[in-house]
Chain A
Amino acid sequence: MKRTRKKTMSKTIVNVVLAFICLIWLIPTVGLLVSSFRPAVDILQTGWWTVFPHRDYVAQSTITLPKETDLRQPIEVNGEVFDDDQLRSGVTALDGSRLIWENRRARTIQVQQPDWKVNSNFTLDNYNGVLTGKTFEIMQSDGTVRAQKGEGLSKAFLNTLVVTIPSTIIPILIATFAAYAFAWLRFPLRRSMFVAVIMMLVVPLQVALIPILKDYTALGLNGSYLGIWIAHTGFGLPLTIYFMYTFISQLPKDLFESAFMDGASNFTIFTRLILPLSVPAIASIGIFQFLWVWNDYLVSLVFIGSQPDVQVMSMRIAAMVGSRGSDWHLLTAAAFVSMLMPLTVFFALQKYFVRGLLGGSVKG
Chain B
Amino acid sequence: MLASTPKTSKSRNVAVTLAVVLVNAILHSGIYLFLRDTNLPSVLYALLAIIWGVLGVYSIYWSFNWAVEQYPDIWKRRIQPFIFVGPAALLLGWLLLIPTLRTLYMSLMDAGTEKFVGLSNYAAIFTNRLLLTALRNNLIWVAFGATACICLGLLIAVLADRSSFEKLAKGIIFMPMAISFVAAGVIWKFIYFYKPGDEQIGLLNAIVVAFGGEPQAFTSMLQPWNNLFLVAILIWMQTGFAMVLFSAALKGVPEDMLEAARIDGAGEIRIFRSIIIPAISGTILSVSTTIVVFTLKIFDVVMVMTGGQYDTEVVATQFYRQFFMYRNAGYGSTLAIVLLIAVIPVIIINLRQFRKQGGF
Contacts and interface: CB of A to CB of B under 8 A. Distances in A.
A362 B95 contact: no
Name the residue among A178, A196, A206, A346 with the largest chain B CB count within 10 angstroms: A206
A18 B339 contact: no
Contacts of B58: 173
A166 B32 CA distance: 14
Contacts of A206: 297, 316, 319, 335-336, 339
A177 interface: yes
A243 interface: no
Given A44-B201, A321-B185, A199 B347 contact: yes
A208 B190 contact: no
A242 to B, nearest CB: 9
Interface string A308-342: 00000010011001100010100110111011001
B182 to A, nearest CB: 4
A268 B328 CA distance: 51
A186 interface: yes
Interface string A259-296: 00000011100100000000000000000000100111
Contacts of B236: 25, 28
Interface string B122-165: 00000000000000000000000000000000001001101111
Given A29-B175, A266-B84, A295-B181, A211 B343 contact: no
A86 to B, nearest CB: 14
A364 interface: yes
Nearest to A325: B189
A244 to B, nearest CB: 10
B182 A297 contact: yes
B236 to A, nearest CB: 7
Contacts of B80: 185, 266-267
B87 interface: yes
B249 A211 contact: no
A11 interface: yes
B85 interface: yes
A109 interface: no
B177 to A, nearest CB: 8
Contacts of A174: 57, 87-88, 91
B217 interface: no
Contact of A345 (B178, B337, B347): B178
Interface stretch (A65-73, A77-85, A91-99, A232-240): A232-240
Nearest to B152: A21
A266 B282 CA distance: 36
Interface residues of B, number: 118
A298 B299 contact: yes
A35 B156 contact: no
A170 B54 CA distance: 6
A18 B100 contact: no
Contact of B186 (A165, A317, A358): A317
Nearest to B45: A162
A48 B202 CA distance: 9
A343 B187 CA distance: 15
28 contacts: A18-B156, A25-B173, A27-B203, A46-B199, A158-B43, A165-B50, A166-B49, A170-B54, A170-B57, A173-B57, A178-B84, A178-B87, A180-B84, A196-B92, A210-B103, A215-B94, A226-B32, A229-B53, A237-B88, A265-B69, A294-B180, A297-B299, A297-B303, A318-B304, A321-B185, A346-B175, A346-B178, A362-B282
Interface of A: 10-11, 14-15, 17-19, 21-22, 25-29, 31-32, 35, 43-49, 89, 155, 158-159, 161-162, 165-166, 169-170, 173-175, 177-178, 180-182, 185-187, 190-191, 193-212, 215, 224-226, 229-231, 233-235, 237-238, 241, 265-267, 270, 291, 294-298, 301-302, 314, 317-318, 321-322, 326, 328, 331-332, 334-336, 338-339, 342-343, 345-347, 350, 353-354, 357-358, 361-364
Given A18-B169, A206-B335, A237-B88, 19 more contacts: A25-B176, A29-B179, A31-B190, A31-B203, A45-B199, A177-B88, A185-B85, A186-B81, A203-B343, A204-B339, A212-B99, A237-B92, A321-B186, A322-B307, A328-B190, A334-B186, A342-B179, A342-B180, A361-B287
